[in-house]
Amino acid sequence: MTQFLAGPYGTLALAELGADVVKVEDPDHVDDARHVGPDYLSEDISLYFASLNWGKRSVALRLGTEGGMVAMKRLIGSADVVVDNFRPGTMAGIGLTEEAMREVNPAVITCSLTGFGETGPLAGQPGYDYTIQAMAGVMSIGGEPDGPPGKAGISYVDHVGGLVAAFAIASALVRKDRSGVGCHLDMSLFDTQISMLSYLATRALNGGEEPVRRALGAHSSLVPAQLFACNDGYLSVFVGNDRMWARLVGALGDERLADERFRTNGGRHRYREEIVGILQAIFATAERAHWIEVLRGSRVACGRVNSIDEALADPQVQDRDLVVTADHPVYGSYRHVPGPVPGGSAAGRRGAPCVGEHTRAVLVEVGYSEVEVDALLAAGAGVATDPGSVRPAMSDR
């Protein structure tokens, strides 16, 4: 019962690891991601939605009806895990309290992934990726020194929050396998992001210097670790230790960099501006491809700043099969990237489902007869999509 990004990304990871993920939506209030434009595969499947929901099945139930709620509880009774990313209290408000779910499945694992968790003064507030990046301090150290605060280029709070939820679910499944007892997981995007402050938080809590925005994305401690402008674009260089620094000095062959003052990172941190100035002058003399060949030849971490198209065309992406094709019998095929933990399942080859595409099949699996499913649908408690009724993408979205 997840929508938009964080929850669907977490359950996508579980699908790729082999879980049978059944996405339950109210047909009158479907996942908003289905209609996030501008590009669509069918009238209810945007490319945004398709990127997050491949490998899943779709059941459409109106939980405000008696029949819909009965069917939902039958589903819960057959489930190992129930996941939602509604605001705290929403599940209880529709009649799915922890107690109600455990009445039909005492060993079920429930996971609620919210913006701020189920306790605290912000528990009832909506919390999106943008909100969390701002409140957790991340935006304050993003962007150029003389510019406004900056956000990350992707919704990484949502992505990581989904992964942490999947990790917690996998751990809870192991515990249940050993003990036979389920549990409730109170997962929060805000909690996850505060945890990811890691060394920055430890410095702040123990009297370290306050992080500041640095030009060209420079690392707060390691030098050089930032972008440099070559004569055809930007190059990322990251010297992670003194041994790599020695290799960089040898590769570039500039005597100024061999200064004893720069031998350790402490010295390089102290003379940051001098070192960066020397390196910038060197890198500006040639194209990125030249410097990548020179630096990688000495095992110095570096890479060009790619566009999304360039990143997806990288030979490493091709060799690692990081672009796959999903197929659907109605709207055809589309390409997407796989989940973060390849599990060897075929989930990524199955296209994102239309609303209610699997309602009938799943209800039969949990004990309904075909006649009972027909009666449920006739009463308006759910929707079972006829694939032949799915319309192609609309150009005027």
What's the pLDDT score for residue 342? 75
Q: Indicate if the pLDDT at residue 344 is higher than 90.
A: no
158 an active-site residue? yes
Q: Indicate if the pLDDT at residue 396 is higher than 80.
A: no
pLDDT, the chain, mean:
95
113-139 pLDDT, tens digit per residue, is 999 999 999 999 999 999 999 999 999
Report the CATH number that the domain containing residue 191 is assigned in CATH. Answer: 3.40.50.10540
306-325 pLDDT, tens digit per residue, is 999 999 999 999 999 999 99
On whether both 352 and 294 belong to a single domain, the answer is no
Indicate the number of domains in the chain.
Answer: 2
**Partners of residue 335 on adjacent β-strands:** 325
On whether both 24 and 57 belong to a single domain, the answer is yes
Query: What is the pLDDT averaged over residues 146-174?
Result: 96
**Does residue 251 sit within a domain?**
yes
Q: Two tokens at 67?
A: 């029949």
Query: What is the pLDDT averaged over residues 333-349?
Result: 88
**Does residue 336 sit within a domain?**
yes
Count of Cβ atoms closer than 10 Å to residue 336 Cβ: 18
On whether both 229 and 296 belong to a single domain, the answer is yes
13-71 pLDDT, tens digit per residue, is 999 999 999 999 999 999 999 999 999 999 999 999 999 999 999 999 999 999 999 99
What's the pLDDT score for residue 358? 97
Give me the catalytic one of 26, 84, 129, 158.
Answer: 158
On whether both 297 and 329 belong to a single domain, the answer is no
Q: Are 85 and 70 in contact (CB under 8 A)?
A: no
On whether both 66 and 144 belong to a single domain, the answer is yes
What's the pLDDT score for residue 297? 98
Output the CA torsion 359→364→370→373 (10° steps): -40
Q: Indicate if the pLDDT at residue 393 is higher than 70.
A: no
On whether both 19 and 157 belong to a single domain, the answer is yes
**Does residue 373 sit within a domain?**
yes
Report the CATH number that the domain containing residue 238 is assigned in CATH. Answer: 3.30.1540.10
74-113 pLDDT, tens digit per residue, is 999 999 999 999 999 999 999 999 999 999 999 999 999 9
**Does residue 396 sit within a domain?**
no
Q: Which domain holds residue 118?
A: 6-196+324-389
The residue to which tokens 């396998």 are assigned: 177
